[in-house]
């Protein structure tokens, strides 16, 4: 099967105000399969967002290639197709809402790409249903909670029928309730609709939900693997300025004091299993 | 030395169809020297309450006193009292405006009417507090900094005002774990050195549990729980759940382990407490 995202030797270089060369991404190669849930973690400035912005051609490689569903993002004729294949959701829900009524906001994308009128309504209804916002279709977005706004933003992307959604810290500005809503929505899109998810986050508990985690450092991929593989390397993760989920941290502490706890104990259930046999 | 809210109420968009009461008859005292976390979900009234502490909003009913001065009265005394309260908003880096870091941090002290020498020494002290070297950074543009550094500059701007009451609205939102820890190390060092009041608005129960002595839980415009942090998380679990407020990860993990039969006491708050409890329960120490 052909990967939905395939990046080969990708570098992204820009020049700062003193004309120094900055390599935001430095020779990255990776691929993501259709239907995968991939989390990307790394400190601020490690290149996470820059990488994610290549996935729907908001940025194009300075060196190397980025193939989205086989389409080269360096070729201008592919841009529209790429952006319909991969949708983006950003951190701040308030910056992503354009219309004064929820359903009009969701319809904005399909209208913009010329979807026939008759098809728009069913798409909007389906998208709002998936994110559980049907009852708010006629509401004004600015009166919604952060989590609700963010779900409207996701619906707006879904109405374009993408194969993949990239979410750049979608819960950073939300309260715990809003966070849970978004995490549940994203999980559902991935599991029920088989939509590929690329999820950038600083919250390790959220990264745990992914099939694969990519860890970035200074424009390079430092580590990748299943959550179990990544989060069992507690020391290495901490050296990168990140943290591990609490169960992995506790497991590491117990291991350090000489107890036998299996290496890839990272969730509360796994820790309970290890301790309460 | 305290901030005192006396029966304060506030309604947004009064006399319109969108009228919404955001604060209802709140009475509260915060002493200088306290470290307080304010939690509660979006719309519970946290931000509205914060904006009353320094007079950004004035109450529809009730009064706000800072060091026994009604800050919503007219005159120099009220203004001076308002100036004792420093506020770092959410995403403070969005409020950076000056061409150099020095100018940005100097804005507050200058506004307070300090002499240029005093301004400079305040800026120096503030930058060193947030871990930015004065000689390296003073003349740089703040817009070339990383997100975490920009936030430190913004916090320095408020620190330079030398507030007796420092309000921080989600100072770690959007920061990676390391930058978050750095910001808190600085805030805590500042608190230790100056013993002002720190009022931390946060959605992170870990931060509330780890740093604050006192916890205020808000819901529907009222302070519904007010107590010592550890005590609140231990004894008000059901109430917190009903309010849609989370508890720290360590407590949740302790619950899971307890359900599986491990004997873990219910005063666990932090990761290190939990590790200790597990060792005790398993007879490993």
* Binding-face residues of A in 257-276 toward B, CB within 8 A: 257, 259, 268-269, 271-272, 275-276
**Alpha-carbon dihedral B228, B231, B234, B236, rounded to 10 degrees:** -70
- CB contact under 8 Å between A44 and B175, yes or no, is yes
What is residue A48's predicted lDDT score, i.e. its pLDDT? 93
Q: Is A253 on the interface with B (CB under 8 A)?
A: yes
User: CATH no. for residue B153?
Assistant: 3.40.50.300
- Give pTM, 2 decimals: 0.86
* DSSP classification of residue B73: S
Q: Is B253 on the interface with A (CB under 8 A)?
A: yes
Q: Using CB atoms within 10 A of its CB, is residue B1 exposed (0-12), middle (13-18) or buried (19+)?
A: middle
Residues of A whose CB is below 8 A from B47: none
- CB contact under 8 Å between B256 and A272, yes or no, is yes
Retrieve residue A127's tokens. Answer: 């998208």
Sheet with A21-32, strands from edge to edge, namely A21-32, A5-15, A63-68, A71-72
* Binding-face residues of B in 221-250 toward A, CB within 8 A: 244-246, 249-250
- CB contact under 8 Å between B179 and A16, yes or no, is no
Cα B68 off chain centre by: 22
Residues of B whose CB is below 8 A from A172: 173-174
In a domain, B32, yes or no: yes
Strand B197-201 and strand B222-228: the pairing is unpaired
Nearest residue of chain B to residue A274 (CA atoms)? B257
Sheet with B214-219, strands from edge to edge, namely B85-88, B165-169, B197-201, B35-39, B214-219, B222-228
Half-sphere exposure of B114 (CA within 13 A, CB side): 17
- CB contact under 8 Å between B275 and A241, yes or no, is no
> Could you tell me if B138 and B127 are in contact, meaning their C-beta atoms sit under 8 angstroms apart?
yes
What is residue A247's predicted lDDT score, i.e. its pLDDT? 94
Q: Is the ipTM of this complex over 0.90?
A: no
Which residues lie below 8 Å from residue B181, measured CB to CB, with a gap of 6+? Answer: none
CATH superfamily of A5-227: P-loop containing nucleotide triphosphate hydrolases (3.40.50.300)
Which among A26, A9, A90 has a CA at the least distance from the CA of A56? A90
Residues of B whose CB is below 8 A from A271: 253, 256-257
Q: Is B120 on the interface with A (CB under 8 A)?
A: no
Residues of A whose CB is below 8 A from B176: 42-44, 202, 241-242
Q: Could you give the 3-state DSSP secondary structure of residue A75?
A: coil
In a domain, B281, yes or no: no
Test the B interface: residue of A20, A44, A171, A255 with most B CBs within 10 Å: A44
How far is the C-alpha of A98 from the C-alpha of A109, rounded, in Å?
10
- CB contact under 8 Å between A175 and B42, yes or no, is yes
Nearest residue of chain A to residue B242 (CA atoms)? A177
Residue span of the structural domain in which B47 resides = 2-229
What is residue A44's predicted lDDT score, i.e. its pLDDT? 83
A37: β partners:
A197
Cα A103 off chain centre by: 24
Q: What tens-digit pLDDT sequence spans chain A (277 residues)?
A: 679 999 999 999 988 777 888 899 999 999 999 999 999 999 888 999 999 999 999 999 999 999 999 999 999 999 999 999 999 999 888 888 889 999 999 999 999 999 999 999 999 999 999 999 999 999 999 888 888 999 999 999 999 999 999 999 999 888 888 889 899 999 999 999 999 999 999 999 999 999 999 999 999 999 999 999 999 999 999 999 999 999 999 999 999 999 999 988 999 999 999 998 7
Which residues lie below 8 Å from residue A55, measured CB to CB, with a gap of 6+? Answer: A5, A66, A68, A86, A164, A166, A198
In a domain, B104, yes or no: yes
> Could you tell me if A224 and A212 are in contact, meaning their C-beta atoms sit under 8 angstroms apart?
yes
In a domain, B173, yes or no: yes
Neighbour-count burial for A196-229, b at 16+ CB within 10 Å, e otherwise: bbbbbbbbbebbbbbebbbbbbebebbbeeebbe
Q: What is the residue-averaged pLDDT of chain B?
A: 91
Which among B50, B78, B145 has a CA at the least distance from the CA of B105? B145
User: Considering its fold, how many domains does chain B have in total?
Assistant: 1
Nearest residue of chain A to residue B257 (CA atoms)? A272
């Amino acid at each position: 099967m052909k990967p939905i995202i395939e990046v080969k030797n990708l570098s992204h270089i820009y020049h700062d105000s003193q004309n120094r060369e900055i390599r935001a991404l430095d020779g990255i190669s990776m691929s993501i399969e259709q239907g995968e849930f991939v989390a990307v973690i790394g400190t601020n400035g490690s290149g996470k967002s820059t990488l994610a912005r290549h996935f729907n051609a908001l940025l194009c490689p300075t060196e190397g290639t980025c193939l989205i569903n086989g389409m080269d993002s360096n070729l201008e004729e592919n841009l529209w197709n790429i952006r319909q294949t991969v949708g983006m959701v950003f951190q701040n829900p308030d910056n992503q809402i354009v219309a004064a009524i929820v359903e009009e906001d969701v319809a904005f994308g399909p209208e913009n790409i010329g979807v026939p009128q008759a098809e728009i309504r069913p798409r909007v209804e389906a998208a709002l249903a998936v994110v559980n916002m049907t009852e708010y279709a006629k509401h004004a977005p600015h009166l919604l909670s952060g989590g609700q706004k963010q779900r409207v933003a996701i619906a707006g992307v879904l109405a374009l029928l993408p194969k993949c959604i990239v979410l750049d810290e979608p819960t950073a500005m939300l309260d715990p309730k809003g966070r849970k809503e978004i995490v549940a929505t994203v999980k559902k899109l991935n599991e029920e609709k088989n939509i590929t998810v690329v999820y950038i986050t600083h919250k390790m508990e959220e990264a745990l939900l992914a099939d694969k985690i990519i860890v970035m450092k200074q424009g390079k991929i430092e580590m990748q693997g299943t959550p179990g593989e990544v989060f069992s390397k507690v020391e290495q993760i901490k050296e990168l300025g990140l943290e591990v989920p609490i169960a992995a941290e506790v497991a590491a502490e117990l291991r350090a004091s000489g107890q036998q706890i299996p290496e890839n104990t990272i969730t509360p259930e796994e820790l309970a299993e290890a301790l309460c046999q | 030395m305290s901030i005192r809210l006396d029966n304060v109420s506030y309604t947004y968009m009064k006399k319109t169809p969108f009228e919404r009461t955001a604060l209802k008859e709140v009475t509260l005292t915060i002493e200088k020297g306290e470290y307080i976390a304010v939690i509660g979900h979006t719309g519970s009234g946290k931000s509205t309450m914060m904006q009353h502490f320094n007079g950004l909003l004035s109450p529809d009913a009730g009064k706000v006193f800072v060091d026994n001065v009604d800050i919503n009265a007219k005159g120099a005394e009220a203004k001076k009292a308002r100036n004792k309260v420093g506020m770092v908003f959410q995403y403070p880096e969005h409020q950076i405006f000056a061409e150099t870091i020095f100018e940005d941090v100097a804005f507050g002290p200058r506004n307070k009417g300090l002499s240029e020498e005093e301004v400079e020494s305040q800026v120096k002290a503030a930058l060193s507090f947030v871990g930015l070297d004065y000689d390296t950074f003073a003349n740089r543009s703040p817009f070339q900094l990383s997100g975490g550094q920009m936030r430190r500059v913004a916090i320095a701007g408020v620190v330079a005002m030398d507030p007796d009451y420092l309000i921080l609205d989600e100072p770690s939102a959007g920061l990676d774990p390391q930058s978050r820890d750095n910001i808190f190390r600085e805030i805590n060092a500042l608190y230790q050195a100056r013993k002002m009041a720190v009022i931390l608005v946060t959605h992170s129960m870990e931060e509330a549990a780890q740093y604050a002595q006192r916890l205020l839980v808000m819901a529907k415009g009222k302070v519904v729980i007010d107590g010592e942090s550890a005590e609140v998380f231990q004894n008000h679990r059901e109430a917190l759940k009903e309010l849609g407020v989370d508890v720290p990860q360590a407590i949740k993990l302790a619950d899971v382990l307890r359900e599986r039969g491990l004997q873990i006491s219910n005063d666990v708050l932090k990761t290190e407490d939990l590790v200790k409890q597990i060792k005790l329960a398993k007879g490993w120490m």
